[in-house]
Structure formats: C-alpha cells, structure tokens
Structure 1
C-alpha cells in the first residue's frame, strides 16, 4: 500500500492537479503492480519561496514548475521496477498535465508491512490476514 505526497507549485489548475495525481497512480499500478483501488495521495501546493532547489543538479535543468513526489511503500521492488516507475510517472505527467520530465522529482521511502495502519487503530498486516481468513 503506497502513500503518496505530491507537492506542486501554487496556482496549479485543478484539472492539472487531478491529472498529476492520476498520472502518478497509473504509473504505480502499471510498474509496481499495486491494485487500482489502492489510491491514497496528499497533494499540497507550495509558494515559490517555500521550495529552494538547485536548478541544474546532476545536469537536469529545472524550471519553476517542479513537481515533487514522495512515495512511501513497502520495500521489495527491484531497481528495474523503480526505473520504470520514474519513467512512467514523467511520461504520464508530461502527457496529461504538460509537466516537463526535467521538472518531475520522485523519491521513494521504503518500509515494512507492519509499519502501516490504514484505519481502525489496527496494524494493516492484521487486517490483511483477517481478510484472507474470512475469504
């Protein structure tokens, strides 16, 4: 179960905001194999003076429209899957929200299944096991 935080420039049109969220989710479904209904995203806007960054770090030329995507997910994905995820996110955001690939900044935070509680004050692992027993 990934949880995604997306930081976008203030004033991003609502249609682009939705397209960004959908584009990130579609990329995770296609490359990481998460279920389509596993959709949890927090989208926040930042002001120009809230995000300070090097416009040319590692030779990537960034504009004022950088979108920062932090995906927290269970560990275990291969480097190839992550590489495909990054490429698919950039392609989706370019296609659907006119975001340049150079302005797509993605990073992953990995943890274990026992690090999640998605509701009810219960560890997600317990909920998943209970669903298997009930099935």
Structure 2
C-alpha cells in the first residue's frame, strides 16, 4: 500500500509523467510485491523559482531532478528498500530517460494502524 508523491520541475510532457508513474509502479511490483492496481501516486510540478537542489553528497544533479517520496508499511526490510532504490533508478533511466543522479528517493515508514484507504476505516490494523 505505498503512497507516492513526485516533485519535479514543470514543463515535461504528459507522456514523460505517465512513464514515471508506470516505471515506479513496476518497481514497486517487482521489489515489494505490491498488489495489482495498487497505484496511489501524485505529481507536483514547480517553476524554477520554487524548485531548488544542490550538489551535496558528491552527486551532480540537473533540472531533470525528481524528488520521490514513498510512504510504506513499516514492515519493509532494509534490503527491500535498497533493492527498490536501485530498481527505481534503473527503470526511470529506461523510461522516461532520467539519469540516476537525478533520482532522489526518500522512504517513510508508517505503522499499519496509521492508514485509512477509504470509508473512514482502519483497514490494516
């Protein structure tokens, strides 16, 4: 039950954004085994004045940088997360063609009792 939010510079075509969604969903299916049709993702686009990055940690980034925030159940292992990071960078590199240096991912763990996916219910507690 991952929840994904992508932040990026404005101006990419719809096909580019859809390819990002598709690649992220594929990475989640392959590495975390998320169920079919478990696709809860958003994109926020920002103009240049509202999107900042640097070269910290020895990574040379460009305006094609994407910030990807993924919230998942706190049951995921460190190895699963490591595999997910790698697969996301690979797949986004293939389609829509984002350099690995421009893939910035943060995973936030949330306890199952912290999720309500509809009807005001606590489905996973």
- TM-score, length of structure 2 as denominator length: 0.95
Alpha-carbon distance between aligned partners in 2 of 1:71 and 1:106, rounded to the nearest angstrom: 8
Aligned pair count reads 125
In the alignment, structure 1 segments of 5+ residues that lack a partner are 127-135
Once the two structures are TM-superposed, the CA of residue 31 in structure 1 deviates from its matched residue by 0.6
RMSD over aligned CA atoms reads 1.1
Aligned to 2:86: 87
Task: String of CA shifts for 1:95-115, please: whole Å, max 9, x gaps.
Answer: 010111000000011011110
Once the two structures are TM-superposed, the CA of residue 125 in structure 1 deviates from its matched residue by 2.3
Alpha-carbon distance between aligned partners in 1 of 2:95 and 2:64, rounded to the nearest angstrom: 15
Select the structure that is richer in helix. 1
Aligned to 1:16: 16
Aligned to 2:101: 102
Aligned to 1:29: 29
> Contact (CA 8 Å) 2:89, 2:100: kept in 1 or not?
yes
In the alignment, structure 2 segments of 5+ residues that lack a partner are none
- Is 2:41 the counterpart of 1:41? yes
Give 1 or 2 for the bigger CA radius of gyration. 1
> Contact (CA 8 Å) 2:8, 2:51: kept in 1 or not?
no
- TM-score, length of structure 1 as denominator length: 0.88
Which stretches of structure 1, 4 residues or longer, exceed 3 Å deviation after superposition? none
Q: Secondary structure at the match of 1:71?
A: strand
> Contact (CA 8 Å) 2:9, 2:51: kept in 1 or not?
no
